[in-house]
Copies of this chain bind each other. A is one copy, B any other.
Amino acid sequence: MKKDPLNSSDADETSRPGDSYVQSFARGLAVIRSFDAGRPAQTLTEVAAASGLTRAGARRILLTLQALGYVEADGRLFQLTPKILDLGFAYLTSMPFWNLAEPVMEELVEQVHESCSAAVLNGTDIVYVLRVPTHKIITQNLSIGSRLPAFCTSMGRMLLAALDDDKLDAVLGASDLTARTPRTVIDKAALKEAIDVVRSQGWAIVDQELEEGLISMSAPIRDRQGRIIAALNLSGNAQRKSARQMVKAYLEPLQAAAVRVSEMVARRG
């Protein structure tokens, strides 16, 4: 895991000309990321504080983002514009399974009446890239772009199982192995054993390790070369079905859906 250059806000902007472009760009992105649910609209002073920049530096970046249409000002308050979504949309549409996976996931949800998502690995996290909720009015606060730790989620274990041993060690070494429930496996050796099981059986299940009452099962989406590029999951409530019952009822349709998406990716690739 590399040091996050976004956090090196203490570096002098002008001292190293070779790095200045990287740093400027990093700061612009840090300003974008300083806006969130707790800070939807910020003054210049607030942006500077949140992104670790001087007022002058924050001002220059805000004016740049404003000139490019990514930020707008309303009096003293700055906020992001929806043009920001173009960047994420570029990523989503560049995924080989985007557009192919969604109708298959819709059919799966229609069949099993549980929520289905797709995620990819990014560092120590999984990142949601598609989600088809079942209409059971249990909001999980998960959207495209949401992150969860890989080590205690079924999609994460599926994606970790695709790494070679060195890479897996590196990711587990960089992971914050904090228990989310009394069931969370946080011992590295035990996690590697669990991931070995996923490797050999070809699918993953995580039973209330992320959250009490939540069980999730995952299967891999592969590219034409057979490499795992994403995971597809079904998640359900432990009160309604135990892990054993979920495997019995849903493993087959989940695996069939993942194979269908993989075949579509292979045909298109």
Contact = CB atoms under 8 A, between A and B. Distances in A.
Interface in A55-114: 60, 63-65, 67-70, 79-96, 98-99, 102-103, 106-107, 109-110
B37 A91 contact: no
A2 to B, nearest CB: 7
A145 B85 CA distance: 5
A181 B103 CA distance: 26
B137 A86 contact: no
A68 B133 contact: no
A92 B137 contact: no
Nearest to A120: B82
Contacts of A122: 81-83
B81 A143 contact: no
Given A22-B67, A69-B4, A33 B120 contact: no
A127 interface: yes
A143 B144 contact: yes
A24 B123 CA distance: 27
A95 B87 CA distance: 17
Contact of A28 (B25, B33, B145, B146): B25
A40 interface: yes
Q: How many copies does the complex hold?
A: 2
Interface size class of A (residues with CB under 8 A): 35 or more
B103 A139 contact: yes
A160 to B, nearest CB: 15
Contacts of A25: 24-25, 28, 64-65, 68
Nearest to A36: B93
Nearest to A37: B93
A68 B29 contact: yes
B86 A33 contact: yes
A82 B91 contact: yes
Contacts of A167: none
B68 A6 contact: yes
A35 interface: yes
Contacts of A63: 22
A32 interface: yes
Contacts of A28: 25, 28
A266 to B, nearest CB: 15
A64 B22 contact: yes
A4 B107 CA distance: 40
Given A110-B137, A139-B102, A82 B127 contact: yes
7 contacts: A36-B93, A37-B94, A37-B99, A84-B88, A85-B92, A88-B88, A132-B135
